Each structure stands twice: as C-alpha cells, then as structure tokens.
Amino acid sequence: MNIMNVDYSTKIPNNVNLSEDRQVLKALEGWHPGYIDWWNDMGPDGFQQSLVYLRTAYSVDPRGWAKFDYVKMPDYRWGILLAPQEENRVIPFGQHYGEPAWQEVPGEHRAMLRRLIVIQGDTEPASVEQQRHLGKTAPSLYDLRNLFQVNVEEGRHLWAMVYLLQKYFGRDGREEADELLRRRSGDADSPRMLGAFNEATPDWLSFFMFTYFTDRDGKMQLHSLAQSGFDPLSRTCRFMLTEEAHHMFVGETGISRVVQRTVEAMREAGIDDPTDIARVRALGVVDLPTVQKKLNLHYTLSLDLFGSEVSTNAANAYNAGVKGRYRETQIDDDHRLQSGTYPVLKLVDGEIRRVDEPALTALNMRLRDDYTQDCAKGLMRWNKIIALAGYDFRLTLPNVAFHRQIGEFGNIHATPDGVLIDDATWNKRKSDWLPSADDGDFIASLMTPVTGIGEFASWISPPKVGIDNKPGDFEYVKIET
C-alpha cells in the first residue's frame, strides 16, 4: 500500500493498512457508533442534513492532499492519517538522543505517553462542543462552511488520538478512548480536562479569537509532540498540523475582517475617535476597545494551557524523549539540556522579575514564549489595517501576569500593562479589560444569521479570496430547510 494515499475502501479511511490490522480495525469499528452518537448529540446544532462544501484528505502528500466537495457532515469520512515514516529517524532530544525512534511504546514511558495523548485528544471534541451553537448565527455561508470545516477536522483529530490509544495501549487505551466520548465541555460532573476548553464560545468574535489563540496553543503542542521519540505519535501530529493551519487562518482572517469593517464604517461615518464606543456601536460594528477585551480574554485563557512556567513534568517528558521543543531539530544546542538556563518571569518580593531557571524545567515557559511570538504576527496585520485607515489605535497582547489562573501569576491581579493591583482595584476595573455582560449583550445583538448567497453581516467584511478559489457568490452551504 502506498502510504501517501488514503484507502477509502474500508469503513474507516486510513493510510495505516487497517484492513490487515484486524484487532485495531475491530476496536475502531466498535468505537465508531459511539462517536456518531456523540457527533449527533454534541456536534453542530442543526445543518446536519445540509450539503457543506468541505475538504477531505485523500493523501498525506503536502503538495496536494485534499479535495473539496459537497458533503453532509454526518457522512464526512473521518479517517486515520499519518505522515509518511521518515527513514532512519532518531529521537531528537532527551536521554535517548540519537537512538532510533520507537515504533512501539517503550514500557518505561508508557503512562506518560498515554497521558499526553489523552490530554491532546480531549481538546479536539471539546472545541466542537464549545462551538456547536454558532451555526445558527453565522455571518455568511462562507463563515458557516469554515466553522463546519474546523468542526469536522477536530472530529478527525479525535480519531487520530483514539487510533493511537487503541493500537498501542491495549485495554486501558480502549477505556481512555471511551472516556473521550463521555466528558463534556463545561459539564459540572465530567468536564473536559483543560480550563480553556470548558469556557463558552458565545459568539463569532469569540470563535475567531478561539481559532486564532487557542488553536494556536494546539499548534505549539502538536509541534512539540511531532518531535516525539514515539514515531506513530510524531507522524500523527505532523499530519494534524497540516489541517490545523486552516483553523488559525480562519481566526486570523476573521479578526482582520471584523477590524476592516469597523474602521471602514467609522471612516464613512466621519468618526475620528475609535474609543467613542457608543457612536461606533450605533453603526452596527464592533468597536476596537471591545475587540481588545475579547483578545485579552482568549489570549490569557490560552496562556494558561501551557501550564506552570517551571515544571518537572515537562522536564521529565523531555528527558524521556516523549515531548520536545518547538522546532527542536532546528535548535543549535546539545538537545539534552543537562546544563544551561532559560529566563522565566516570576513573582519575586511582590515584583515581576526575570529569573534564570534550569532550561530543562523551564520548557513550558519556553514554549509559551514561542507561542507569544507566533501570536504577535496576527496583531501586526490587524494593526496595519487600523493604521491604513488612519486611526491611532493599537491592539496589544496583555502582560503575562494579567488575568491568569495557572502558574506564577495565578494568585495575584495585574493590569494588562503588568502593574500589580489589589483585589478591590481588580474588581473595580476588570470590566475595562475583559468583556463585561454589557459587551456580551452588544455582540450578541449583532449575531443575526446571514444566509443569502454572497451576503455578509453588517459587522464583518467579505474575505479577499474564497475557499478553493471560489467566487464571492458561491453557495458554500446548501441549507436544508
């Protein structure tokens, strides 16, 4: 079988030769009905009988891997796709540095690997659950399609992790696979594993922020796992990253289009002050200070996903050869981190200070720094749109001490500029920095669905180019009425 091409003759499309792997095929086929039940209960609310113009992977060749066609979402071919095996790949870091990559789970690192796979797997269905109501208020058919594309691919990412659990972790892997369908985002009794994945995604501005900031945390985690000495995990994550890029594109361009529409509307109305919120809102667009508040919220929730700045778990996973650094193979050092330090922002005597910590225990901080740098690129684009329209207003990433639940700054309050403040000041001012109930109500008031072909809601610009180069009047979703 050619690894590049996906076998669609079996019930579960794959490029891992499932038809000759009876035991795993049986386990996956046993899991399938529960997955479909989950999709029907917790996947997109409505539109399940609509034809959606979706891409499906037919290959794992980066030069051409997807084809587009109309599909009803429950008929989407969720499959198991691994990037091709690299010949003679070696473990690129940790105590096993330079040894051949593992094709089976090493017994000594089994529990750690399983845990990391389960945590990654848990985020995939969680975001589908968080976004399930958004279809009803989509600002256009184009956006509706993008939402559903993200949703079906997160579903596929769940399949990817379940395959690893069922193939390599025996009975407890199968139990974990069942648990992934049992937990629910935001559920009081059995929530999803990570904080940001239990928050609501109440509106489309949140959706764009989520796909920009939280899917980007996913990108960083997948990059680190793509370095793993456990080769099947590495190959799985490498292909997931191909799909993930689109999710962040949806976020980045979504926010660009919101900002674009806002500055255009302000110009047309002759508004010079972007902080004149009442006047801007009266135009039926989102004022820039509210965009900043949403950004503050989603960025900080995503920072928490990186865990504590100084972490022995992260050090152990690195030592074990299980989870590497972002772009590990391109870093010029010993890839063991037995010496060397990394600067970590910490709270020392009531002040935020940079403290050198052993590089090995500071890996979460390093990954988070890489993440912040990656986030900054979008802000440059958004700020350029604002500047080109002639406005003196900049979107910024808040200080890492602001609005944190986890790590060094989890127990203090700080302003977005990183000034430490007491509880009373925080309570008085937090609605200046984070979306308030009023802000939420205003955004909700804009969320009326637009389903006409080629039409867009008042608060968002059309995209510059269509998906799959389709023209502006393309019917991305044929809504079943």
Task: Report the nearest approach of Fe ion to the CB of residue 167 (Å).
Answer: 19
Task: Report the nearest approach of Fe ion to the CB of residue 245 (Å).
Answer: 9
The C-alpha atoms of residue 373 and residue 369 are separated, in whole angstroms, by 6
Task: Report the nearest approach of Fe ion to the CB of residue 86 (Å).
Answer: 22
Q: Is residue 157 involved in binding Fe ion (CB under 5 A)? A: yes
- Edge-to-edge order in the sheet of strand 477-478: 66-72, 51-57, 477-478
Task: Report the nearest approach of Fe ion to the CB of residue 244 (Å).
Answer: 5
What is the number of alpha carbons within 13 Å of residue 240 lying toward its C-beta?
A: 30
Task: Report the nearest approach of Fe ion to the CB of residue 258 (Å).
Answer: 20
Q: Is residue 215 involved in binding Fe ion (CB under 5 A)? A: yes
Name which of 156 and 167 has its Cβ closer to Fe ion.
156
Q: Is the CB of residue 54 less than 8 Å from the CB of residue 76?
A: yes
The C-alpha atoms of residue 43 and residue 51 are separated, in whole angstroms, by 16
Q: Is the CB of residue 145 less than 8 Å from the CB of residue 454?
A: no
Element (H, E) at 351: strand 351-358
Segment contacting Fe ion by CB under 5 A, of 103-111, 247-255, 332-340, 409-417: 247-255
Task: Report the nearest approach of Fe ion to the CB of residue 157 (Å).
Answer: 4
Which of 216, 235, 238, 247 forms a contact with Fe ion (CB under 5 A)? 247
Name which of 144 and 446 has its Cβ closer to Fe ion.
144
Name which of 44 and 94 has its Cβ closer to Fe ion.
44
- Identify the CA nearest to 92 among candidates 362, 314, 327: 327
Segment contacting Fe ion by CB under 5 A, of 2-10, 213-221, 404-412, 445-453: 213-221
The C-alpha atoms of residue 59 and residue 66 are separated, in whole angstroms, by 7
Q: Residue 193 in 3-state DSSP?
A: coil
Burial of 2 from C-beta contacts in 10 A (0-12 / 13-18 / 19+): exposed
Binding residues for Fe ion restricted to 324-353, rule: CB under 5 A: none
Name which of 96 and 247 has its Cβ closer to Fe ion.
247
Element (H, E) at 67: strand 66-72
- Per DSSP, 407 falls in state S
Name which of 216 and 404 has its Cβ closer to Fe ion.
216
> How many residues belong to the site for Fe ion (CB under 5 A)?
6
What is the DSSP annotation of 242-299? HHHHHHHHHHHHHHHHHHHHHHHHHHHHT---TT-HHHHHTTTS--HHHHHHHHHHHH
Task: Report the nearest approach of Fe ion to the CB of residue 321 (Å).
Answer: 24
Task: Report the nearest approach of Fe ion to the CB of residue 153 (Å).
Answer: 6
Q: How many CB atoms lie within 10 A of CB 137?
A: 19
Burial of 392 from C-beta contacts in 10 A (0-12 / 13-18 / 19+): exposed
Segment contacting Fe ion by CB under 5 A, of 56-64, 151-159, 261-269, 396-404: 151-159
- Per DSSP, 134 falls in state G
Element (H, E) at 387: helix 363-388
Segment contacting Fe ion by CB under 5 A, of 33-41, 85-93, 118-126, 308-316: 118-126
Segment contacting Fe ion by CB under 5 A, of 42-50, 159-167, 244-252, 381-389: 244-252
Q: Is residue 217 involved in binding Fe ion (CB under 5 A)? A: no
Q: Is residue 55 involved in binding Fe ion (CB under 5 A)? A: no
- Per DSSP, 68 falls in state E
- Evaluate the CA torsion angle 284, 286, 287, 293 in order and state its sign: positive
Segment contacting Fe ion by CB under 5 A, of 11-19, 117-125, 330-338, 452-460: 117-125
Segment contacting Fe ion by CB under 5 A, of 39-47, 69-77, 214-222, 317-325: 214-222
Name which of 154 and 304 has its Cβ closer to Fe ion.
154
Name which of 158 and 259 has its Cβ closer to Fe ion.
158
Name which of 77 and 110 has its Cβ closer to Fe ion.
77
Segment contacting Fe ion by CB under 5 A, of 32-40, 241-249, 293-301, 337-345: 241-249
Name which of 251 and 398 has its Cβ closer to Fe ion.
251
Name which of 147 and 259 has its Cβ closer to Fe ion.
147
Q: Is the CB of residue 212 less than 8 Å from the CB of residue 226?
A: no
Mention every residue, 6+ apart, whose C-beta is less than 8 A from residue 111: none
Task: Report the nearest approach of Fe ion to the CB of residue 158 (Å).
Answer: 8
Name which of 153 and 408 has its Cβ closer to Fe ion.
153
Segment contacting Fe ion by CB under 5 A, of 120-128, 324-332, 363-371, 416-424: 120-128
- CA torsion angle 210 216 221 226 (round to 10): 130
Task: Report the nearest approach of Fe ion to the CB of residue 25 (Å).
Answer: 24
Name which of 129 and 244 has its Cβ closer to Fe ion.
244
Task: Report the nearest approach of Fe ion to the CB of residue 246 (Å).
Answer: 8
The C-alpha atoms of residue 168 and residue 164 are separated, in whole angstroms, by 6
Task: Report the nearest approach of Fe ion to the CB of residue 123 (Å).
Answer: 7
Q: Which residues are at the interface with Fe ion (CB under 5 A)? A: 124, 154, 157, 215, 244, 247
